[in-house]
Amino acid sequence: MGRVTNSNHRCVLLPLFIVLSATATAQANLFLQRPRIGYYGSACWNVESIVRSVVRSSYFANPANAPGILRMHFHDCFVRGCDGSVLLDGPNSERTAIPNLSLRGFNVIEEAKTQLEIACPRTVSCADILALAARDFVVLTGGPWWPVPLGRLDGRVSLASDVDLPGPTDSVAVQKQSFAAKNLNTQDLVVLAAGHTIGTAGCGVFRNRFFDNNNTGSPDPTINPSFVPQIQAQCPLNGNAAARVALDTGSEGQFDTSYLNNLRFGRGVLESDQVLWTNPETRAIVERLLGLQFPFLLFRPEFARSMSKMSLIEVKTGLDGEIRRVCSAVN
């Protein structure tokens, strides 16, 4: 029997080193890629079906999770990009910022993560789970399906002081500035705002507009007078500020163009919504989405396009992020 010499070792180890290096390089290159369709491949072939199953169960248990997760995805993407930073828990995290105190559905994302960690350990990011869940909840409310590019990494930083979101009293000019900072245009602004078709808001956010707008002692004059008593009854002046009201009255929880039509008739609950009709530039987009002005815009495909675009804001790749073990804490 021949001796195994050092040179024999080198002959055996060199190919092995090449194989391991090639594998590591391939994994590193995958880690650096921007999100794309089919990103996980065989590494987690059933990622979408697992998320969809969790979403369906939570939706039928509590339909309010649909607007909750859609809003959470928006809040995540507009602060440090779509990196799941809104999911991180902590004394000064984004979750503690005033606009995020009413977010709901964190348990849905954590449940999906738990199931994915069993099926595909340390593979699927929380940021991707949130993007998929937002899409799947929209579908369950009657909205469009769209392919979600995957491969986002989870951020490691979450600070309440970074939270600077579009507000419920913002003018069109201020809203446009906020969206432009994220490479979203005015049409994206109107289309994404129309996601309020399934949304709700706490009375404390908008109540003054229906009672004492800008300290005038009267409701906002842009509100349809017949709409004022309806909201006043739901949100009494000294009532519960946390009580929630549908932003699309008459079609609550259903994904459709009713929200846009309500703006047309002065029935927008939020000032930031109603100004989309009173401003000529955004009004033209609303009219196109309602089929009142050429060239027409189809709301469902336009919403899908803008959501896909939003979901790619400032995504993390490479050393900028990680795959969390749990969504509420960094590794």
User: Closest Cα partner for 168 from 224, 212, 208, 197?
Assistant: 208
Domain map of the chain by residue range? Answer: 45-165+311-320, 172-307
Report whether pLDDT(273) > 60.
yes
Average pLDDT rounded to a whole number, residues 35-49: 97
Residue numbering of the annotated binding site = 76, 79, 81, 83, 85, 94, 166, 196-197, 248, 256
Q: How many CB atoms lie within 10 A of CB 219?
A: 19
Distance of CA 67 to the CA centre of its chain: 10
Q: Looking at domain 45-165+311-320, which of 2.140.10.10, 3.30.70.890, 1.10.520.10, 3.30.300.30 is its CATH number? A: 1.10.520.10
Q: Mean pLDDT across the stretch 279-299? A: 98
- Average pLDDT in the 86-91 region? 98
- In this predicted structure, what is the pLDDT of residue 31? 54
Counting residues of the chain whose pLDDT is more than 90, the rounded percentage is 89
Instruction: Please report the pLDDT score of residue 214 as a whole number.
Output: 94
Q: Binding site membership for Ca(2+): which residues?
A: 76, 79, 81, 83, 85, 94, 197, 248, 256
> For residue 306, what are its two tokens?
């803008």
Backbone angles phi, psi at 155, to 5 degrees: -75, 160
Mean pLDDT of the region 175-197: 99
From the list 52, 75, 95, 176, the catalytic residue is 75
Residue 3: pLDDT band (50, 70, 90) is very low
* Residue 52: both structure tokens together: 């969809």
Predicted confidence at residue 286, as pLDDT, reads 99
Q: What pLDDT, on a 0 to 100 scale, did the predictor assign at position 33? A: 73
Asked if pLDDT for residue 7 goes beyond 60, the answer is no
Q: Tell me, what DSSP letter sits at residue 2?
A: -
Instruction: Give, in order, the Cα–Cα distances in Å from 50 to each of 112, 198, 311.
Output: 7, 24, 20
Helix (H) or strand (E) holding 310: helix 299-310
Would you state the pLDDT for residue 317?
Answer: 87
pTM for this structure? 0.90
DSSP string across 82-119: SSSGGG--STTSGGGSGGGTT---HHHHHHHHHHHHHH
CATH number given to 172-307? 1.10.420.10
Strand partners, 329: 326
Which residues are annotated binding-site positions for heme b?
A: 196
73 is catalytic: no
Alpha-helical (H) ranges within 141-270 are 172-180, 186-193, 203-211, 228-234, 258-264
